[in-house]
A and B are shown apart, each in its own frame.
Chain A
Amino acid sequence: MNTSTAALVPTFPAADSSGLVIQTGHDECQAIFYPAFYQLVMKRSGQEEKVELGYSGSRLLERLLQTPGTVVSREELMEYAWADRVVGQGSLNQQIYTLRQVLGDEKKREIIQTLPRRGYMFNPRFLVPVVLDEPEPEPQPSVSPAAEMLPAMPVPEVAVRSSQPPLRTVLVLLPLVVVLVASLVYQGLTVAGVRSNQVQSGLASIAYIAGDGITLPQLMNETKELSERIAGLAEQPVELVLGKAADFYQLLCARPDGSARWLMVQETQLASLDEATLRRCLP
């Protein structure tokens, strides 16, 4: 596989890779990567969708994007994405699979390429160059200190215009913005659950998903004992997902090979769970 394509492409933004635009494998869809927020913003047909990559996934993509066109070894990727933890090769495989899935690359594997026995490489052909045909504007004194602290993100066109938009434009766009925001909030509330960051407990890394009438603090509080018990039983690093739907708690135990076992427990039975049942879920 050709790994020297880096020389053929334009220079891309600096090493922190904030706000890089990626051409995805989905139809007419580009993704903007914001490593500071562990997020990809997918832009398709004028609509935007935020995809949470999680810490490890985001770090992985960040490292690959630091040197597009160059092979990064598996060891280096694991060290970069899981700096404070020892994880198996399966975790890397899973995160790479997830990134490919998000980028619409799980079949062709052109965007994140696998170099057997060498590592992974981000194909620079899928980076969208930022056209800079005007000199950088002088910093405006009115910029707030908070704005200066934000990572270098692509600046929307309207943000660099100094003149105020005409009232008519605002009035025309306002209903559209209201509709868009309302629909996003509606979709977010009705479909997506709220997902916590990974919580490390012993060898277990646990993500909590709230929703369906239960908040994150409630869920974490109600499953505190379960989390501690299963973390205590884990004999190797394991990634768990804990949630609740209707009157059942759900525990997903991810396995290094990408498969998973799960356990559903009726809420009145949570305290009665025996060790053997918990062990069957763990890898």
Chain B
Amino acid sequence: MTSRKQLILALGGGVLLAAGAIVTWLTLPPTTVDLDGRYGSQGQVRLGSGEVLDASYSILFTEGRYYAMSRQGDVIVETSGKVETDWRGGYRLLVEKGDVTELNAQLDNSLLFNLLYSRHPGAVIHLKPLYAACLYAQETQQVYCANNP
């Protein structure tokens, strides 16, 4: 009987500890951001129609914030917001503000979606180290490399 009581107590304690760990993990404050300076990249997009567009992405990280400009053909999107780190060594961009300067291009829907997502307040973009001094924005499929690695 005593051992059953101990078993129930131990299980209860374990569940409580696990719940505590989950709550702590979910509510951990973001750690400080060490990203700083200008990043960017240039490239080309071949659309479904066969048209090839020049594209460029620029982003400035300073004091825990970011300011970005994406250009694909005629479409220019500016966004800004906060930068946070995640515990796996990546970063999160929290979009606060975004504007589309031009929207008369014949971009493919998935590309337009990416651009419009990136300017939507409240959107979160995960940045992951990709290669050397380059970061990859997962949700928007954009590459940023340090201008002076």
Q: Does A89 contact B (CB under 8 A)?
A: no
CB neighbours (8 Å) of A179 from chain B are 18, 21-22
* Chain B residues numbered 3-42 whose CB sits less than 8 Å from any CB in chain A: 6-7, 10-11, 13-15, 17-18, 21-22, 25, 31-32, 34, 36, 41-42
Task: How many A-B residue pairs have C-beta atoms within 8 angstroms? Tell me.
Answer: 145
Q: Is the CB of A264 within 8 A of B48?
A: no
**Partner of A264 from B32, B45, B132, B133 at Cβ < 8 Å:** B45
CB neighbours (8 Å) of B48 from chain A are 247, 266, 268-269
CB neighbours (8 Å) of A51 from chain B are 89
Number of A residues near B (Cβ < 8 Å) is 58
* Chain A residues numbered 169-193 whose CB sits less than 8 Å from any CB in chain B: 171-176, 178-180, 183, 187, 191-192
**A221-240 toward B: CB 8 Å interface, digit per residue (1/0)?**
00000000000000000010
Q: Is the CB of A27 within 8 A of B32?
A: yes
Q: Is the CB of B110 within 8 A of A261?
A: no
Q: Is the CB of A248 within 8 A of B110?
A: yes
Q: Does B101 contact A (CB under 8 A)?
A: no
Q: Is the CB of A175 within 8 A of B89?
A: no
CB neighbours (8 Å) of B55 from chain A are 264
Nearest Cβ on chain B to A255's Cβ, whole angstroms: 9
Q: Is the CB of B46 within 8 A of A260?
A: no
A98 to B145, CA, bound (A): 12
Q: Is the CB of B128 within 8 A of A191?
A: yes
> What is the interface of chain B mostly: helix, strand, loop, or mixed?
mixed
Known: A27-B31, A49-B88. A191 touches B141 (CB 8 A): no
Known: A191-B126, A268-B48, A269-B50. A260 touches B110 (CB 8 A): no
Q: Does A280 contact B (CB under 8 A)?
A: yes
Interface stretch of the complex, out of A62-70, A101-109, A131-139, A150-158: A101-109
16 extra A-B contacts, CB within 8 A, seeds A168-B6, A264-B55, A264-B141 = A42-B89, A93-B149, A97-B146, A97-B149, A98-B129, A102-B89, A168-B10, A172-B14, A176-B17, A179-B22, A191-B90, A252-B143, A258-B133, A260-B143, A269-B46, A280-B44
In the assembled complex, 21 residue pairs joining A and B whose CB atoms fall closer than 8 Å, in A order, are A93-B149, A95-B132, A97-B146, A171-B7, A171-B14, A173-B14, A241-B131, A247-B108, A252-B131, A252-B134, A252-B143, A254-B131, A258-B132, A259-B149, A261-B41, A264-B46, A265-B46, A266-B47, A266-B108, A273-B46, A277-B52
Chain B interface (Cβ within 8 Å of chain A)? 6-7, 10-11, 13-15, 17-18, 21-22, 25, 31-32, 34, 36, 41-48, 50, 52, 55, 87-90, 108, 110-111, 126, 128-134, 138, 141, 143, 145-147, 149
